[in-house]
Amino acid sequence: MNILQLSFHASPFSEIGKNDGGGMSVYVQQISKHLSENHNVTVVTGEKAESFKDKNLEFISLDIFEPELNVEDKEIHLQTFKNKLEEFLELKSFDVIHAHYWLSGLVAKEISNELNIPFVFTSHSLGVFLDGYNKERVDCEKIVMTSTNVVTASSVFETMLIGDTYKIDENKIKKIIPGVDRKIFIPDSSVEKENIILSIGRIQKQKGQIQTLEFLNNFKKIEEDFKCYFIGGPSGKNGNEYLNELKQSVEEFNLNTHVEFLDTLPQTEIIDLFKKAKLMIHTSQFETFGLVAIEANAMGVPVLTTNNGSLMEIIENNKNGYLSESLLDGNVNNFVNNLFNDNAKYEEISSSCIEKSKKYDWAKTTDELESLYKQLVG
């Protein structure tokens, strides 16, 4: 098969975690690499990046906008992206299109109709999660989901949300769970663990980092020996404003010696921190999946999170992390305090994390996508 992957607003092969390159970029990169073992895969983005060809995998940047541009400001370039993509498609034909994120979906919808090519849509994030409920985006997402042949969802939560909120027929939704790269996320028992807490994700209100600071302010009353690193740069129009709010809260809570903002880090450095860390806190208001949580688990690091969204399907209390309505719950303090001060308990939970993460496998994800594509192509 000749497979076209569309990632309009973010280059999947740029530095992960920078600008708009988060879990979606990991997903597109991983499935493209695996699919290219048996098929011709072309990945196209509008973001300026270095194009390349490696055996059956080709990555093409249409060089339309700078990576630093906010995703909201990239929307105005959508027509240019479609025009350039149509020129490219005059030279190359494809059997199936897989669009990632709603902006790519809008383009895929038109290309699919023009060329009579089936297309698959994966949202990675939904407009209903945004502050103030972005009706225009939600309406566009519904148009895309109605037009596509299949909508893939990463969790039961996302499957139900797409069906209930967007009124999409459940027969059109296919649950395909993402994986974790075990060649990269390898725990290292030779590295001594420290009382290090990680918060990994773009700095934006949707990610809820303020909840982590509120927890730390509460937790330091019973434990003074810890350090929390926030990894990720500001994202979106209000990202820098939110980062300043977080830094102000650090001052107000007197957490200066406990908290450090590291901006975006290369994946190798994040893995080095995982090797030392005893906990990751994930406070995103809503997640269609939460890829970083299973990556943490694969490294033997338990995840503390609030019990909303898909993370309820990933995290099990006292097994591979802890779920709570509020991080200010006293039981949360007890859980983290035990991790930090009871080595036997930590080893038990860490081993459970690794074991539970084994069910997430990119090869399996790709096999399910390949099967789906073949059904559509016929």
DSSP 192: P
| C-alpha to C-alpha distance for 283 and 213, rounded to whole angstroms | 10
- Contact assessment for residue 340 and residue 357, using Cβ atoms and an 8 Å cutoff: no
Same fold, 2-179+361-377 and 196-357: yes
Q: What is the pLDDT of residue 128?
A: 84
Q: What is the pLDDT of residue 370?
A: 98
The answer regarding whether domain 196-357 maps to CATH 3.40.50.2000 reads: yes
- Contact assessment for residue 131 and residue 264, using Cβ atoms and an 8 Å cutoff: no
Q: What is the DSSP string of 296-344?
A: HHHTT--EEEES-GGGGGT--BTTTEEEES-TTSHHHHHHHHHHHH-HH
| C-alpha to C-alpha distance for 288 and 209, rounded to whole angstroms | 18
Separate counts of helices (H) and strands (E) for the chain: 13, 14
| Averaged pLDDT, groups of 10, the chain, 378 residues long | 97 72 89 98 97 97 92 92 96 96 97 97 87 80 97 94 93 96 94 96 89 96 95 85 96 97 91 97 83 96 90 93 92 95 96 96 97 96
Q: What is the pLDDT of residue 132?
A: 56
Q: What is the pLDDT of residue 286?
A: 72
Q: What is the pLDDT of residue 200?
A: 94
Residue 268 half-sphere exposure, CB side, CA atoms within 13 Å?
0
pTM, 2 dp? 0.92
| C-alpha to C-alpha distance for 314 and 161, rounded to whole angstroms | 17
Interaxial angle between packed helices 23-35 and 362-377, expressed in degrees from 0 to 180 and rounded to the nearest 10: 70
Domain range annotation of the chain: 2-179+361-377, 196-357
- Contact assessment for residue 225 and residue 340, using Cβ atoms and an 8 Å cutoff: yes
Q: Which CATH superfamily is domain 2-179+361-377 in?
A: Glycogen Phosphorylase B; (3.40.50.2000)
Q: What is the pLDDT of residue 16?
A: 65
Q: What is the pLDDT of residue 321?
A: 97
Q: What is the pLDDT of residue 68?
A: 84
- Contact assessment for residue 80 and residue 94, using Cβ atoms and an 8 Å cutoff: no
